Amino acid sequence: METNTAAAHTATGPAIVRTVADLRARVTGWRRTGDRIAMVPTMGALHDGHLSLVRIGFERAERVVVSIFVNPTQFAPHEDFQSYPRTEVRDMELLELLGTDLVFAPSAAEMYPPGFATRIETAGPALGLESDSRPHFFGGVATVVAKLLVAAMPDLAIFGEKDYQQLAVVRRMARDLGLPVEIVGAPTVREPDGLAMSSRNAYLNPEERDVAPVLHDVLMQTAAALRDGVPPDQALDDGRRAILAAGFRALDYLDLRDAQTLEPIFDRSAPGRPLRLLVAAWLGRTRLIDNCAV
């Protein structure tokens, strides 16, 4: 029986595997001993938000697998795939501090071997918001997450609520495909000034970093206005103006949606209906997203 000790880890962090075959072999060994397994899919460049997901994994399972894979199929040609931060050595050191059991860090060729020709088509919660400006995005996300879950077949997989629409898409995908994996949403982890933690925050220059928390401030103000009975159109228009006035160069969306289906909301006529505000805006060359419950 394997144990979660230094003997199972490399000198620079947890044990690391780079092929699906090796991942399955390790997970199969844990299953034979009855261990419950959690998976945390990431693209690396880990921060406290990611680490909070690993901690939740250990609260819910005996073993935690973290995947690190910058997925090329969710980036458009003009996006930041090549420049996306890659910090594997540091990531491994952080994961070692938490006692992470295993890291799956495959190559693009391992995930998408020659002749790969299948892609998941998404609808439902994938429609609108991110899809309006990134129509390629959720097909790439759903495909890679499905492959990761099929490769490891964990009991649960944990995703942060910061990427709220992604979480909704993954939940829908897992249900629709009948994957026997519980999809767990975890609260957004924030900097002291309210900015949602993100690997892309590293792109912000000092002046932009000072402005960035306005995004969360406006979300909170807009949610408060909606709870006070301000009509959605007025509350959203006020929020959009405030974001642009603060120095954001462009706003992709600030919208109110059903918290479960992500269908658009045009009024507050359904008392008790859970609602979610979602926003995406550009600060310099950095695209920031955030959301909050209403």
Ordered DSSP codes for 109-152: HHHS-TT--------GGGSSTHHHH-TTHHHHHHHHHHHHHHHH
Q: Report pLDDT for 267.
A: 66
């939940």: which residue's tokens?
A: 171
- Examine the pLDDT at 238 and tell me if it is beyond 70: yes
246 in a known ligand binding site: no
pLDDT of residue 78: 85
Describe the crossing of helices 214-227 and 232-245 by its angle, rounded to 10 degrees: 160
HSE, side-chain direction, 13 A CA sphere, residue 132: 10
Query: Active-site residue numbers?
Result: 50
Residue 36 CA to residue 292 CA, distance in Å, equals: 31
Query: Mean pLDDT across the stretch 69-90?
Result: 92
pLDDT one-digit tens code per residue, 142-178: 999 999 999 999 999 999 999 999 999 999 999 999 9
Q: What is the mean pLDDT of the segment spanning 238-259? A: 98
Q: Looking at residues 253-280, what average pLDDT do you find?
A: 87
Instruction: Count the neighbouring beta carbons within 10 Å of the beta carbon of residue 164.
Output: 26
Q: 156 φ, ψ to 5°?
A: -145, 155
The answer to whether 48 is a known ligand-binding residue is: yes
% of the chain residues with pLDDT over 90: 89
pLDDT digits (tens, 9 = 90+) for 205-237: 999 999 999 999 999 999 999 999 999 999 999
Report how far Cα 224 is from the mean position of its chain's Cα atoms.
Answer: 26
- CA pair distance 47, 230, nearest whole angstrom: 37
82 is in an annotated binding site: no
From the centroid of its chain, how far is CA 143? 14
What's the CA gap between 218 and 215, in Å, rounded?
A: 5
Phi-psi region for residue 42, left (φ > 0), alpha (ψ -120 to 50) or beta? beta
Q: Is 237 annotated for ligand binding? A: no
Sign of CA dihedral 129, 132, 137, 142: positive
Helix, strand, or coil here: 238? Answer: helix
185 marked ligand binding residue: no
Does 160 appear as a known binding residue? yes
Decide: residue 236, CB within 10 A, 0-12 exposed, 13-18 middle, 19+ buried: buried
Contact 157, 186 (CB under 8 A): no
pLDDT value, residue 224: 98
* Whether the Cβ atoms of residue 132 and residue 250 lie closer than 8 Å to each other: no
**Does 50 belong to an annotated binding site?**
yes
pLDDT for 17 beyond 50: yes
- pLDDT band, very low/low/confident/very high, at 5 (cuts 50, 70, 90): very low
* Residue range 128-142, pLDDT digits in tens: 999 999 999 999 999
User: What pTM did the predictor assign?
Assistant: 0.92
Res 4: pLDDT: 40
pLDDT average, residue stretch 253-261: 96
